[in-house]
Amino acid sequence: MPCTGQHTNGYRWQTQMVKMEESFLRLLGLPLRRKQEEENKELNQKLLERNKQYDKLLAEVDAEKKQKNRLSMEREKTVNDFKKTSVDKSLKDETSRLQGELNKLNIENAGLRKEVDRIRTSLSKIAGERMTDGNPYITDLSDPQRPQKLAEKFNSLYDNSWTDAYEVINTEDMDEKMTCGKLIDIFKSCWDFCCEVANMQLSDLHTILLSLEEKESKEEKKVKNDFPVQNSKIIKETRRMFAEQFIPTLCESYWQRQKDTGLVKDLQPYVDKCIELCWYSAISDPPLVYAFDANTNVDDFRGYTKSGDEIDYVVWPSMYLHEYGPLLYKGVVQYKMTDKHEDKPEPQKIVEDDDKTDVKPELQEKTEDHATDKMDNKTELEEQTADQMTEKLDGKPKLQEKPEDHVAGKIDVKLEPQEKTEIRETDKTDDKPELYEKNEENVEKNE
């Protein structure tokens, strides 16, 4: 208990002291409060100023940061622009250099292409010349003197000029065989003459172009033998170009050579035509070939006015594309006349049985007389037909075969149609006589 009283008194005393202090302070606190308020006011004023300064500094710092960022960006942009400019410049320089090299390579490529085209053209030309040189199966369709056209001229020469020449020299002193022989001899003479001149001319051209000396050395002869194909073809083509101007000179030279042979001047149209055709044939590449011997290949010749198995003489030569080449135009030969009754079968015995012959002797005699009368009438008819043919054949007789058979292979040579004016004897001999057939029928009826 005593302790509790002390504590209570002490607490009261403290409370009173506090109250006394508060009263004292209230008495003394008015001036202090005023002073504190003034100080607080000053401090607040300073704080506001400091806050303003702080805000200003913050604004300046922000502005500096922005400026720094802007400058940094400008710097980066400048650096990037510089780098880009330097890269672009280097790229531009590199592009210019590469473009220059490309242009240079294009120029070289164009030159190489031209060179390749030139070499290719040259090789193609050489290959074409090697392929066409001496190749008769490759012809220029624009050439009026190609082998097919020469075959047409050969046919026209035989149909027209040969006929006129035949009428000129076919007199009483010369029969048909002599006349045909004379005309084919003239053609053969023209052909031999043109071949000789063509070979001599080509040799002379080679000599003139390769040598200036009259006497050639062995080396020059070797060079001539190795004459380039393209040059040889050029020479041959040049000779063909001047053929038309050269033919009159050639004809004049031939007539000079034949002046002592008694060649009739009336045959000049025929001879000149032969010279022209033979010259174009001789300078063809390769030359055409004419065959004057029908015994080597009788299938390349056709009949003239007679038919048979044995050849009497050659009327007109056959024409070939080249040596051992295909046939262009069939030749003409005259066959020897065969006996018309030799090829006919012997009269058959109408009745072979003796008993039947004895029974009807009168019928057999009448049949034989009837057969004899008809044979006589047939012989007279054939003689009349032969006389009519002789009267109609004025000059050159017409051919037996159709002109379409004259040309062999695929050579397109158009020939004029010709009429058949003679009677084939083989057609008569091969057929069974109608006389015997009628006689057999009569005998069977009588039996």
Confidence check: pLDDT of 190 > 70: yes
pLDDT tier for residue 148 given thresholds of 50, 70 and 90: very high
Confidence check: pLDDT of 64 > 50: yes
State residue 253's pLDDT score: 92
State residue 212's pLDDT score: 52
State residue 132's pLDDT score: 62
pLDDT tier for residue 6 given thresholds of 50, 70 and 90: low
Q: Detail the DSSP E strand segments found in 56-157.
A: none
State residue 234's pLDDT score: 80
Rounded Cα–Cα distance for residues 195 and 287 (Å): 9
Q: Looking at per-residue confidence, does 424 or 368 come out higher?
A: 368
State residue 431's pLDDT score: 40
| Token pair in block for residue 197 | 């001149």
Tell me phi and psi for residue 205, to 5 degrees: -65, -40
Please name every residue paired with 301 in a beta bridge, in sequence order, or none if there are none: 331
Element housing 115 (H / E):
helix 2-132
Residue 103 lies in a domain: yes
| Token pair in block for residue 287 | 């030359």
Dihedral sign computed on CA atoms, order 155, 156, 160, 162: negative
Confidence check: pLDDT of 351 > 90: no
Residue 31 lies in a domain: yes
The torsion of the CA quartet 109, 114, 119, 120, rounded to 10 degrees, works out to 90
Mean pLDDT of the chain: 73
State residue 262's pLDDT score: 73
93: amino acid identity, one letter: D
Confidence check: pLDDT of 314 > 90: yes
Dihedral sign computed on CA atoms, order 22, 24, 27, 31: negative
Confidence check: pLDDT of 80 > 70: yes
State residue 226's pLDDT score: 52
* Tens-digit pLDDT profile for residues 200-246: 988 888 788 776 544 445 444 444 455 555 567 788 888 888 889 99
125-129, 278-282, 288-292, 381-385: which range is least confident on average? Answer: 381-385
| Mean pLDDT along residues 247-275 | 88
Rounded Cα–Cα distance for residues 412 and 363 (Å): 61
Please name every residue paired with 329 in a beta bridge, in sequence order, or none if there are none: 319
This prediction has a pTM of 0.49
Please tell me the number of Cα atoms within 13 Å of 46 on its side-chain side. 6
* Tens-digit pLDDT profile for residues 426-442: 343 344 334 334 444 54
| Token pair in block for residue 194 | 């043109």
284: amino acid identity, one letter: S
State residue 82's pLDDT score: 82
pLDDT tier for residue 184 given thresholds of 50, 70 and 90: very high
Residue 321 lies in a domain: no
Residue 240 lies in a domain: no
The torsion of the CA quartet 92, 94, 96, 98, rounded to 10 degrees, works out to -150
Rounded Cα–Cα distance for residues 447 and 442 (Å): 9
End-to-end alpha carbon distance in the chain: 206
Residues contacting 113, CB < 8 A, separation 6+: none
State residue 292's pLDDT score: 94
Rounded Cα–Cα distance for residues 116 and 311 (Å): 62
Confidence check: pLDDT of 192 > 60: yes
> What is the residue-wise DSSP string for 21-62?
HHHHHHHHHHHHHHHHHHHHHHHHHHHHHHHHHHHHHHHHHH
Confidence check: pLDDT of 333 > 90: yes
Residue 347 lies in a domain: no
State residue 395's pLDDT score: 39
300: amino acid identity, one letter: D
State residue 275's pLDDT score: 95
Residue 251 Cα to chain centre, angstroms: 37
Return the closest-CA partner of residue 136 out of 428, 411, 400, 445: 411
68-77, 140-149, 374-383: which range is least confident on average? Answer: 374-383
| Mean pLDDT along residues 195-199 | 93
State residue 384's pLDDT score: 45
State residue 230's pLDDT score: 56
Residue 395 lies in a domain: no
> What is the residue-wise DSSP string for 139-151?
--TT-TTSHHHHH
Q: Report the percent of the chain where pLDDT is more than 90.
A: 29
Residue 80 lies in a domain: yes
26-30, 184-188, 342-346: which range is least confident on average? Answer: 342-346
CB 134 within 8 A of CB 285: yes
Containing domain of residue 115, as a range?
Answer: 17-132
Q: Report the percent of the chain where pLDDT is more than 70.
A: 64
pLDDT tier for residue 149 given thresholds of 50, 70 and 90: very high
75-84, 106-115, 333-342: which range is least confident on average? Answer: 333-342
Number of domains in the chain: 1
75: amino acid identity, one letter: R
Residue 70 lies in a domain: yes
Q: Looking at per-residue confidence, does 233 or 98 come out higher?
A: 98
State residue 337's pLDDT score: 74
